Amino acid sequence: MRKLSVIICCYNERKTIADVIKRTQSVELGPEWSREILVIDNFSTDGTREILQQIDDPEINTFFHERNMGKGMSIRTGITHMTGDYMIIQDADSEYDPAEHVKFCRKVEETNAAAIFGSRVLGGDVKYEYAHAYLGVRFLTTMTNLLFGGNLTDVATATKMVRRDVVQSLNLTTTDFNLDFELPDKILLSGHEILEIPISYDPRTYAEGKKITSMDGIRALITMFKDRLGFTPVLKPAVAKAVQNSNQHQADPGS
């Protein structure tokens, strides 16, 4: 039996948060899977927090940041508190369909992969509201592959699934949208492969609440170069020390 931790990060998503949670709970993952849902509110001011405060469900754990700390920090809160074998990031808007979680679970059963990303490009049905968003993702994906030896088609996808031992070993430091890039950077730098599966995507406009901008793309590129140059360690200190000790023991088993 495997357990999936669904991390839902929200900031001012009053119109969609209840529906996304309901749709997530309605997904039948299969007999070999159980699920927990971790909802992290990033100091919403539109009534989202009040909706979440009314939830009384043993499958759902809610966390409330006392100030706006960024989406990346919300994901890190979820990673810290997850108890599942895998975590998957589910956006709180309507762009990504929770029904796709089943496909990720089937891929895990086939491969036991360290990481699986949902690609909005694979399958040929590419949907973007803005040309700059499409071109920016193509550029950032190419840079990720060049800098970190990946073979990705959509590095900026929100739907990322990672095995717990892998994601909790990483020294994640960013707090904003840059975590979407720091995460794959450090998965690849730590020697793990990232698989991809095609997913559907229903992009929203800025008028509908889309938050990411071109400046976030520039920040993402800076994050990539920092990670490539080793500005922050790839692994948490305790994990890095354990790996070092293991390598020394393998090199000198008689010591």
| Alpha carbon 168 to its chain's center | 12
- The per-residue pLDDT for 125 is 65
**Residues 61, 160: Cα–Cα separation, whole Å:** 20
- The per-residue pLDDT for 130 is 53
- The per-residue pLDDT for 250 is 72
At 193, is the secondary structure helix, strand, or coil? coil
- Tell me the average confidence (pLDDT) per consecutive run of 10 residues in the chain, 255 residues long: 97 96 98 98 98 98 97 98 98 94 98 97 66 83 97 96 98 96 98 97 65 83 97 94 76 62
| Alpha carbon 242 to its chain's center | 25
Nearest to 115 by CA among 77, 36, 70, 168: 168
Could you write out the DSSP letters of every residue in 28-92? Answer: ---TTEEEEEEEEE----SSHHHHHHT---TTEEEEE-SS---HHHHHHHHHHH--SSEEEEEES
- The per-residue pLDDT for 254 is 61
- The per-residue pLDDT for 251 is 66
**Helix H or strand E segment including 182:** helix 179-189
One-letter amino acid at 252 equals: D
Contact by Cβ (8 Å): 166, 194: no
